[in-house]
Amino acid sequence: MSLLLFGSVILFGQSAQLGAKSADVVKISAGASKPDGEGKQTILVTLEIAPSYHIYANPVKNESFKSVQTVIRVHSVAKLRGVMVAYPVGKTVTAASESFRVYEGKVTFKVSIVRSKEDSNPVEISAWVHATNAERNCLPSLLKVKVP
């Protein structure tokens, strides 16, 4: 499967500044296969997380952190069918005697969709992330990228 690389890149930056967001320490990109004869398409969404930061996995495996787990959504002008997101397991960490799962470094999500045969509109992928570091700088953000 050949992938076309598209996307917006959100650069790493200083997170300790007032008003910083996850977009300052996480970048998003995506590549998509061409839809097959039945309209099935695979999209690979990659998040690159700055060193010393993590984002919360999905599932996070801890009810206390469920509201900050990473969520990938697909938005389209045309109706999509069979939208499925495969979330990687994540790394289990323990802090303050609580265990939970996180993503660090580079993580890729496989998104499967089915388009109508006549649909050639780009789709928008959004990623709700909550980047956090050891100093507990918590940076929520909604990252977006478009793919054909």
Is the separation of the CB atoms in 3 and 33 below 8 Å?
yes
Query: Residue 115 has what pLDDT?
Result: 95
Question: Does the structure show a pLDDT above 90 at 23?
Answer: no
Q: Where are the domains of the chain?
A: 4-147
Q: What's the Rg (C-alpha) of the chain? A: 16
Cα–Cα distances (Å) from 84 to 36, 41, 42, 62, 71, in that order, read 17, 11, 10, 23, 12
Query: Residue 18 has what pLDDT?
Result: 54
Q: How many residues does the chain have?
A: 148
Sequence-distant (6+) residues with CB within 8 A of 25 are: 12, 13, 15, 49, 50, 53, 131, 139
Topology of the domain covering 4-147: Immunoglobulin-like (2.60.40)
Residue-wise pLDDT tens digits, 25-57: 999 999 999 999 999 999 999 999 999 999 999
Rounded to whole angstroms, the maximal C-alpha distance in the chain is: 53
What's the pTM value of the predicted model, to 2 decimals? 0.84
